[in-house]
Amino acid sequence: MQLRPDSQGKVRDIYDCGDTLLMVASDRISCFDYILPSEIPYKGEILTRISAFWFNRFKDLMPNHMISIDPKDLPKEFAPYKGYLAGRSMLVKKAKTIPIECIVRGYLTGSGKKTYDRNRTVCGIKLPEGLVEASKLPEPLFTPSTKAAVGDHDENISFERCSQIVGEDVAEQLRGASLKLYKAAAEYALTRGIIIADTKFEFGFIDGKLTLIDECLTPDSSRFWPAKGYQEGHEQPSYDKQYARDWLKNNWDMKGEPPVLPQDVIDGTAKRYREAYELICGEPFAPMKEH
């Protein structure tokens, strides 16, 4: 594309279209807060279309910022790039973003497992004895974090700290909306053979109303585990970039620039993203239009 984005994240490029924004999900992949030199084919389109699926499914449960992912609704200056943008771009309403990552954990894994092993807490929340890797938590936990700039690490914070940053009323709204969305999504996903171990939501205000923004319940913002074969006590296979992360852990010392992924790791990661799409959306993945 020749047009320059007005802002750029690890995966998404954002174009300011006046009253709206165009969010374009690239095929870039980030692991351990590094953007890898390798891309995952159709990853951006899969992320955009999964987000659109959830935004549509939950539109009566929670307002969201999506206007359209149909290429015909693109602003006219993007018309020459329709081939690339088809499927991977989302026209959205502008929101006043809230600087908090709203994480909900339904199962014990990742950084939560590490702190649990140390002191039986996850993000400062006390949990019962006897939990192991991949245990289902007694209740889903709202564990917010700060939003870091590209290249920096997000920082887990307490609910009290979240309240100091955004105000007690907004913090309560964030917690209530995040838990409501997670529970509804987890219930649906189980009917499709997926366990949502944890996920991250982002919110903003549009016309004074709390609104779901950014991406929603994708393999980049969530841990999706196959329900079939689930058994607590060990790490679970997943429909996300964990496959690439595992290869990096075994083949890179986390110093300097990350290496190029081997083709079989690229193919294996792409396969997991496609499987996530097909299970969640209930249809085979076919690109909207070839690049």
170-200 burial code (b ≥16 CB/10 A, e <16):
bbebbbebbbebbeebbebbeeeebbbbbbb
- In the chain, what percentage of residues exceed pLDDT 90? 90
User: CB–CB of 148/154 below 8 Å?
Assistant: yes
Residues 210 and 189 both lie in one domain: yes
Residues 122 and 200 both lie in one domain: yes
Q: pLDDT of 1-19, one tens digit each?
A: 457 888 988 899 999 999 9
Residues 173 and 189 both lie in one domain: yes
Cβ-in-10-Å burial (0-12, 13-18, 19+) of 84 comes to middle
Mean pLDDT of the region 219-248: 94
* pLDDT the model gives residue 2: 55
Residues 66 and 119 both lie in one domain: no
Q: pLDDT of 80-108, one tens digit each?
A: 999 999 999 999 999 999 999 999 999 99
Mean pLDDT of the region 171-180: 98
Residues 40 and 18 both lie in one domain: yes
pTM of the model: 0.94
Residues 130 and 188 both lie in one domain: yes
Domain containing 72 equals 1-94
Residues 134 and 20 both lie in one domain: no
What's the structural domain count of the chain? Answer: 2
Q: With respect to residue 136, please indicate whether it lies within any of the assigned structural domains.
A: yes
Residues 88 and 101 both lie in one domain: no
Half-sphere exposure of 127 (CA within 13 A, CB side): 28
Residues 220 and 109 both lie in one domain: yes
Q: With respect to residue 171, please indicate whether it lies within any of the assigned structural domains.
A: yes
Half-sphere exposure of 93 (CA within 13 A, CB side): 17
Half-sphere exposure of 163 (CA within 13 A, CB side): 8
Q: With respect to residue 238, please indicate whether it lies within any of the assigned structural domains.
A: no
